[in-house]
Amino acid sequence: MPDDYEQVVAAIFDLDSREEDRLIQTIRAYILRRLAKTVLTNDLQRFEAGHVKFAKFPEAYALKIRKALALLSDDLFQTKSFFKKAGIRVSEEHTVSISKDIQYEYWHNGVTGKIGGMPFVLKKEVKHYVNYYLNEAQVKDNGE
C-alpha cells in the first residue's frame, strides 16, 4: 500500500512523499500559527481593556504578548511568502465534518486537500504555539 500511496502523491502533487509530507506539515503549522495569533490577539485585547483581574501588572503581560505577536506575525509573513512562490492557498475559514473534525482546505497545483483534526487536539497544538511564541518573546527580552 505505501508504494501505491507514494505513486499517487507523486502523480498528484508532482512531488515525492517526503516533500509532500513537509508541505502538509508547513500548511498545518501555518494554520496553527494563525489560530495562535487569534488567541494572543484576544488575550491582548482583554489585558488592554482591563478585563484581566489576576495580574498586578497587566502592562507587563500585554508587552510580552505584543512581542510574541510580532514574532508570530513575522513567521506568518514568511510562510505566506513561501506559499505565494509555491502556488499554495489555504482557506481562512474552517468547516466541521460529520465526525466533528475541524478542517481547513488548501490548494496546490490545482489539487485540493483538507487538513485539520479534532478540536481538543487542535487546542493542544495551538497551546504549544502560544507557549512557544511567549517563550521566544521572553528569550529575546533576556538577550537584549
Q: What is the largest CA-CA distance in the chain?
A: 59
CA 62 to the chain's CA centroid = 21
Cell numbers found for residue 66: 505584543
φ/ψ of 37, rounded to 5, equals -65, -40
Note whether residue 18 is domain-resident.
no
Q: Is residue 91 part of a domain?
A: yes
Quote the pLDDT of residue 139.
Answer: 80
Number of domains in the chain: 1
> Which residues 6+ apart lie within 8 Å of 132 measured at CB?
none
Report the range of poorest mean pLDDT among 40-49, 101-110, 133-142: 133-142
The reported pTM is 0.81
SS (H, E, C) 41-70: HHHHHHHHHCCCCCCCCHHHHHHHHHHHHH
Residue 9 clears pLDDT 60, i.e. is over it? no
- Give the count of beta carbons closer than 10 Å to the beta carbon of residue 45: 12
In a domain, 56, yes or no: yes
Residue 21 lies in a domain: no
Whether 116 is covered by a domain: the verdict is yes
pLDDT for 21 equals 80
Residue 132 has pLDDT above 90, yes or no: yes
CA atoms within 13 A on the CB side of 101: 10
The confidence band for 53, taking pLDDT boundaries of 50, 70 and 90, is: confident
Residue 58 within any structural domain of the chain: yes
Establish if 44 belongs to a structural domain.
yes
Q: Does a structural domain hold residue 46?
A: yes
Question: Which of 4-8, 57-61, 114-118, 126-130 shows the lowest mean pLDDT across its residues?
Answer: 4-8
Position 130 pLDDT exceeds 70: yes
Alpha helices in the chain (DSSP H): 2-13, 17-49, 58-86, 119-143
Domain span including residue 67: 30-143
Lowest-confidence range among 14-23, 91-100, 124-133? Answer: 14-23
Q: Tell me the pLDDT band of 13, cut-offs 50, 70 and 90.
A: low
User: By C-alpha distance, which of 83, 90, 85 is closest to 104?
Assistant: 90
